[in-house]
Structure 1
Amino acid sequence: MNLLITSKEQIFAELTNIDSFLNITMSENAEEAVQRGNDLAVYIARTGKLLADSKYWLNEAMKSEIMQTLEVTAKNAKATATAINALIGSLCREDRYLVDWCERCNRTATHQLSWCVTVISKAKEEMKISGMYNNKK
């Protein structure tokens, strides 16, 4: 299988850019909502891919760290399973951070896209009401 896995450095760089976009406050202008919605749809797709890639890297790190940790633990034979899991989690904290950040950006983009739909719907309703009002004159 030929996997096109984004590097951790590239994931970080892309999330930095996406996060900057997600931190922009949108007005209630319908035209802006349409444009932003188009951008958000792309970001939702991309953060979904970045999430899968960051989970790949986390799994790779855990696999590697697990083997090293289990070897040390087996020699010492004093650590509990909970302690081993906590240690592995600590060793993989940067990879876990990327996974968490990808999930957060994906959810944020999804919620913002819903807001764009709401703003567009509101504008359409206002146009409809305005048209009905103007037709009665």
Structure 2
Amino acid sequence: MNILITPKEQICKELTDIDSFLNITMSENAEEAVLRGNDLAVYVARSGKLLADAKYWLNEAMNSETMKTLAETAKNAKATATAINALVNSLCREERYLVDWCERCNRTATHQLSWCVTVISKAKEEMKMTGMYNNNNRQKC
């Protein structure tokens, strides 16, 4: 099963690439929206997979024997559940960061893909309107 899980370093590298693409401002050109939309569809799928992998690594870190021992020690020392959770969360901060970053990239790519659809729909409507206008002018002549 582990052979399908993307290593943490690879997740970070891929997210850096995806994030760079997501930070490019798109014009309202329909052809650009089609090309960008194709890339975004891939990034939505890939960031979803990376999110699942990042959650795997977070769960692995939280379920490690070291974490269990620390949580048990804190519990025996009469630490509150909030304090124990804060301790575990702070020790898993890198894995949690990857999960948060994956979620952000996935959401952003999804919203940008919707924007591409809107730009393409607008261009189609403009083409229809231009075609209707041209047809009406020809008939009057």
Task: Report the equivalent of 1:84.
Answer: 84
For 1:1-137, list aligned pairs within 5 A.
1=1, 3-64=3-64, 65-74=66-75, 76-137=76-137
**How far apart, in 1, do the equivalents of 2:10 and 2:69 lie?**
27
Post-superposition offset of 1:2: 6.0
After TM superposition, the score normalised by the length of structure 1 is: 0.95
**How far apart, in 2, do the equivalents of 1:92 and 1:34 lie?**
39
Counterpart amino acid of residue 85 in structure 2:
N
Alignment RMSD (CA, Å): 1.3
Report which of the two structures shows the higher radius of gyration computed on alpha carbons.
Answer: 2
Change (3 A) 1:37 1:128: same
Structure 2, gaps ≥5 residues long = none
Post-superposition offset of 1:3: 4.9
Post-superposition offset of 1:90: 0.6
Change (3 A) 1:133 1:109: same
**How far apart, in 1, do the equivalents of 2:132 and 2:87 lie?**
66
Look up the SS of the partner of 1:136 in the other structure: helix
Look up the SS of the partner of 2:25 in the other structure: coil
Counterpart amino acid of residue 73 in structure 2:
V
Counterpart amino acid of residue 90 in structure 2:
S
Post-superposition offset of 1:73: 1.9
**How far apart, in 1, do the equivalents of 2:29 and 2:74 lie?**
59
Post-superposition offset of 1:67: 1.1
After TM superposition, the score normalised by the length of structure 2 is: 0.92
**How far apart, in 2, do the equivalents of 1:73 and 1:36 lie?**
50
